[in-house]
Amino acid sequence: MTYSVDFEPIPDWAESWEANADASVWTFNLRPNNGGFSNGDDVTADVFIYSWKRLLNPESAGAYASILFDILNAEEVNTAGADPETLGLKAIDDWTLEVTMVGPRGIFPVIAGYAACFPTHPPSVEEFGDEYTDPNITGQDVISNGAFLLKEWVHDVRCTVVKNPNYWDADNIRLETIVNPIIPAEQGLLPYEAGEIDWSVVPLAELPRVQADPVMSNELEKWVEPLIWKILPGTNVAPFDDIRVRRALSHCIDRDRINELINQGGDPAYCLMPPG
């Protein structure tokens, strides 16, 4: 799964998917005989099961393990030592993945499209462990299945990726190579203004200058990011264990003023789901 420009789930290695009547079971139909990994290995249902089990394995300490807690027994596997074989994951065949949820979960295709749910190359993990993504350690290109492959990683200097010819939609990937310099934050916009890079995030302190610049103001773009910055009080600690206190705190926060002072261009959040 991946997302459209409107953050709607669209086909990737799963070319179609469907739910049962109450969306408590989802079935994903993968592209058959896809050879999607950069070494020609197939992206199969078992590859997804391996990858999601690895994310949920408490020994992996996956920061995003909880994103899969809607899957039957996923939370128990991650937090209570339950048997991974009890997960609601089943390979009907190489190209069909059945996912049983803890209950009706109509949003699951959106979750499955998130980066933490992307499939991993099992043989690479088995051989190199957590270091399988570092070509400096493995001595070989990283084996992956996305639109681009990590070709070079010079620590603290740059990462270089190249197009994956085995990606199912490779014909529509226009860029052949992307070089991503690793630039210290204190350099600010200097590399962009010097023509060393093609784009840069504008540091907040630099925003007024960029907006006033006759050239850079026309190059400035605001993009939509599926991310919300928030403060989460501990709901099991007094006084925030009282919902009335939490409601009062929510009512007294001037979101527009905070947004004006801190973000200077973002959108204030009045709920967890952004408009759209």
Task: Locate the domains of the chain by residue range.
Answer: 2-125
CATH top class, domain 2-125: alpha beta
**What are the two backbone dihedrals, phi and then psi, of residue 258, each rounded to the nearest 5 degrees?**
-60, -45
If you average pLDDT over residues 202-216, what whole number do you get?
Answer: 90
Helix ranges (H only) for the chain are 45-56, 74-80, 108-112, 122-128, 135-138, 190-193, 207-212, 216-219, 243-252, 255-262
SS3 of 30, please? Answer: strand
What pLDDT, on a 0 to 100 scale, did the predictor assign at position 93? 97
Sign of CA dihedral 81, 83, 86, 90: positive
Sign, CA torsion 238/241/243/247: positive
Q: Give 213's Cβ-side CA count (13 Å radius).
A: 14
Q: How confident is the model at residue 274 (pLDDT cuts 50, 70, 90)?
A: low
Distances (CA, A) of 241 to 138, 236, 245, 248, 270: 49, 5, 8, 13, 21
* 121, 141 Cβ separation under 8 angstroms: no
pLDDT of the residue at 265: 63
User: Model-level pTM?
Assistant: 0.82
Contact indicator for 100, 25 with CB cutoff of 8 Å: yes
Across 106-256, the runs of DSSP E, i.e. the strands, are 148-154, 158-163, 177-181
Can you tell me the distance from the alpha carbon of 163 to that of 151, in angstroms, rounded to the nearest whole number?
Answer: 10
* Average pLDDT of every residue of the chain: 91
> What pLDDT score was predicted for residue 214?
95
Per-residue pLDDT, 141: 84
Whether the CB-CB separation of 52 and 71 falls below 8 Å is answered with yes
Q: Is the pLDDT of residue 276 over 60?
A: no
